Amino acid sequence: MQAYEATLDYARDQDQVDILYSFRERFLFPRHNDRDVHYFCGNSLGLQPKSVAYLMQAELDDWAKYGVEGHFQARNPWFSYHHLFSERLSKIVGASKDEVVATNTLTVNLHLLMISFYRPKDGRYKIIMEAGAFPSDQYAVETQVRMYGYDPADAIIEIKPREGAYIIEEDDILSAIETAGDSLALVMFGGVNYYTGQFFDLEQITAAAHKVGAYAGFDLAHAVGNIPMRLHDWNIDFACWCSYKYLNSGPGGVGGIFVNEKHASNPNIFRLGGWWGNDEKDRFKMEKGFFPQKNAGSWQMSNAPVFNMVAHNASLDIYDKVGMKALRAKSEKLTGFTEYLLKQVTHLPFEIITPTDPKRRGCQLSLLFKERGREVFDKLTENGVVADWREPNVIRIAPVPLYNTFEDSYRFYEILMGIQ
């Protein structure tokens, strides 16, 4: 077990030996009273990489220089711009480059994927998801079910924590899948629950879904860039994510899709057609007939929003240099240190509802307040701490290993200790 100390000297010593410490300098921090804030909100919106401005100017220059010919003559030709991302994304999520594509936004992608993988028939129409999933997921699943004429109260099975608990037991998920049996069409979970920070066992859930003949898909908004994954090896059918949280790709940044190669290469898997999803060699023939690419790119709809994707390009360059293994090693230590410090704060009425086992969480810690939660959050803000308030009574913090330091966590603890 890691031996932590609640001292500034200890925090600074850890920063001295942190091999990722210098990457902090690649990001821009908001300011508070002429100092960088203590930024713990990367699970909501990541910081801006400093290289974004340079890369954006390069695209603006190419637009000015080439006009429409920039589609083929720009330094990063716009026609194939999305190809810049697949290999780097594949390393982050554990897939082949043909199984991933940067396109659209998260909920758009979820709808497109559900249209392919939620095809209820012959009594197989139910969907299992976690209770208290992010609202956008709830809305997507609800409306997909209604589209086929089913009642969400009947078709959607929600798995919730046991009485008096905050996290969902894996056994309860597996039991619900087995019980649903051949009525189950799809398991659609968040990889990491946005409220508690719980990371689910995606491999085990997928295997259970397949055993009863259902598909398994995941919203990885809070998992991608946070926890190493092996989507291909885990035999997951599909997944989607946003890029503006841990992937630091800007508000509304381009989303991403994973489709297992056994489906992506199968033209008989139905998907909605758009010209950027069509076979590239025939894209400009302007003829009838949708012939999907034999990869995840076939779920694209329209041409790449290049300016929107510039920040994604900048951030993935950083991820490529760091690698998920080193990121995860620091994350476990930094999150563990932050958790240790929070447990020293005994005068404020909160408990940590995120799992204590590092294998069941990423870098987020959720603090559930019995009272005074909003008051504490406001005082943190007044003292230059950027955290995240979630109704009705949770403060979420995320010590992101890419740009947060051990001293950041100590200063946060110091400020909390000063709140009376």
- Cβ contacts of residue 279 below 8 Å, gap of 6+? 291, 292, 293
| pLDDT higher than threshold 90 for residue 131 | yes
Residues in the chain: 420
| pLDDT higher than threshold 90 for residue 279 | no
Q: For 377-400, how does the pLDDT look when each residue is reduced to its tens digit (9 = 90+)? A: 999 999 999 999 999 999 999 999
* Nearest residue to 316 via CA among 11, 102, 119, 13: 102
Q: Give me the pLDDT at residue 1, please.
A: 59
Dist. CA 287–CA 285, nearest whole Å: 5
Q: Residue with structure tokens 């090896």? A: 233
Q: Give me the pLDDT at residue 5, please.
A: 96
Q: For 219-231, how does the pLDDT look when each residue is reduced to its tens digit (9 = 90+)? A: 999 999 999 999 9
Q: Residue with structure tokens 């990889």? A: 191
CA angle 284, 289, 294 (to 5 degrees): 80
42's tokens = 């990367």
Can you tell me the mean pLDDT for 295-303? 95
Can you tell me the mean pLDDT for 164-171? 96
- Cβ contacts of residue 343 below 8 Å, gap of 6+? 352
Residue 151: φ, ψ to 5°? -90, 120
Instruction: With beta carbons less than 8 A apart as the criterion, state whether 118 and 269 touch.
Output: no
Give the CA count within 13 Å in the CB-facing half-sphere of 416.
27
Residue 286 pLDDT grade (very low, low, confident, very high; cuts 50, 70, 90) = confident
Dist. CA 160–CA 360, nearest whole Å: 16
Helix extents (H) in 70-229:
70-73, 83-93, 106-117, 135-147, 152-155, 170-180, 202-211
| pLDDT higher than threshold 80 for residue 284 | no
Q: Name residue 17's beta-bridge partners.
A: none
Instruction: With beta carbons less than 8 A apart as the criterion, state whether 14 and 406 touch.
Output: yes
The pTM (predicted TM-score) of the whole model is 0.95
Q: Give me the pLDDT at residue 10, please.
A: 98
| pLDDT higher than threshold 90 for residue 43 | yes
Q: Give me the pLDDT at residue 406, please.
A: 98
| pLDDT higher than threshold 70 for residue 414 | yes
Q: For 246-260, how does the pLDDT look when each residue is reduced to its tens digit (9 = 90+)? A: 999 999 999 999 999
Dist. CA 312–CA 244, nearest whole Å: 8
Q: For 314-341, how does the pLDDT look when each residue is reduced to its tens digit (9 = 90+)? A: 999 999 999 999 999 999 999 999 999 9
**Percent of the chain scoring above 70 in pLDDT:** 100
The domains located in the chain, with CATH, are: 8-48+324-417 (3.90.1150.10), 81-319 (3.40.640.10)
List the single range of 39-53, 102-116, 280-294, 297-311 with lowest mean pLDDT.
280-294
Q: Residue with structure tokens 């994927």? A: 113
Can you tell me the mean pLDDT for 260-285? 90
**Percent of the chain scoring above 90 in pLDDT:** 95
Q: Name residue 122's beta-bridge partners.
A: none
Residue 327: φ, ψ to 5°? -65, -45
| pLDDT higher than threshold 90 for residue 211 | yes
Distances (CA, A) of 133 to 138, 152, 352, 418: 6, 15, 19, 34
Can you tell me the mean pLDDT for 177-201? 97
